[in-house]
Amino acid sequence: MDPYHPTAVRASMGAIFRHPVVKASFQEFSQWVQGCSYQVYGTSAHGSLDYLQVSSYTRPIILLLGDERQGLSPAQVDICQALVRLPMYGEVTSLNLAVAAGVMLYAMLEKMDRN
């Protein structure tokens, strides 16, 4: 996908022009993140932390979201410092990826250390 396609630019609400766009394989990303001070959070139905129970998120943060069917791969899980779950109620088994991303990002921003 072209990140500068008009549809993608519109969906990003212009954020694409305020942040660098980087293309890398997962292996390249994994090597890069090991040398950085980012806190990597992954989402998983089997995560040990309920997203509402996390008291605060320390910046800078990377949030990994897996696909709706299989979730994160084992390699992706391995680079996460924590796996966070969004509990489901009733007969719902999962959320649409965009909805899950919105919920997680909002929760993280609300509980982020602003310093």
Per-residue pLDDT tens over the stretch 51-73 = 888 888 887 899 999 887 888 99
pLDDT at 8: 87
Q: To 5 degrees, how large is the angle CA 84–CA 85–CA 87?
A: 155
Give the separation between CA 102 and CA 85, rounded to whole angstroms. 14
Those residues whose C-beta lies under 8 Å from the C-beta of residue 108, and which sit 6 or more positions away, are 41, 57, 61, 63
Q: What are the residue ranges spanned by the domains of the chain?
A: 1-36, 37-115
The CATH number for 37-115, chosen from 3.10.20.30, 1.10.10.10, 3.90.1150.10, 3.40.1280.10, is 3.40.1280.10
pLDDT at 89: 83
- Does this model's pTM top 0.85? no
pLDDT at 52: 85
Ramachandran quadrant class, 14 (left: phi over 0; alpha: psi -120 to 50; beta: rest): left
pLDDT at 115: 59
User: Which parts of the chain have pLDDT scores under 70?
Assistant: 114-115
Q: Hey, what amino acid is at 93?
A: T
